[in-house]
Amino acid sequence: MRNWLQKFMRGRYGVDQLSNFMVTISVILILISMVTNYSILNTAGLVVLGLSYFRIFSRDINRRYTENQKFLKSYQPIKNKLFKFKNRAKSSKDYKYFKCPNCGQELRVPRKKGRVNIKCPKCETSFVRRT
């Protein structure tokens, strides 16, 4: 069985981050369709799943590699944003976030200090906010 699979996968692209992502998306779509009865989501999920298998078994390794690189490039900022969001949710009990009115720099200030004078470390603008 293992040998058969190894032989079958020889010269084929295999699993990468993009196909993992696509499988995850398709599972989510199918699960949502089961809960909500939107059969279009089920179809969409199966299409995405089919595409991900197409990529895994593809023999056009260069093209699949390029696709994955493109995916990683566009996915990285989203991942960073999610990470930031998660971090912020975790610390939102103790900190409040403000944007500098001058340069837009994000500033973290401890909560429950009343009105505080905040000085932007980037452009040195001062502004008063309630925390």
Q: What does the alpha-carbon distance between residue 102 and residue 115 come to, in Å, rounded to a whole number?
A: 19
- By C-beta, is 95 or 127 nearer to Zn ion? 127
- By C-beta, is 58 or 105 nearer to Zn ion? 105
Contacts to Zn ion from residues 62-91, by CB under 5 A: none
| Smallest distance, Zn ion to C-beta of residue 48, A | 43
Size of the site for Zn ion (CB under 5 A): 8
Is residue 37 left, alpha or beta, with left meaning phi > 0 and alpha meaning psi from -120 to 50? left
What do you get for the CA distance between the two ends of the chain, in Å?
63
Residues lying near Zn ion in the complex (CB under 5 A) are found at 100, 102-103, 105, 120, 122-123, 125
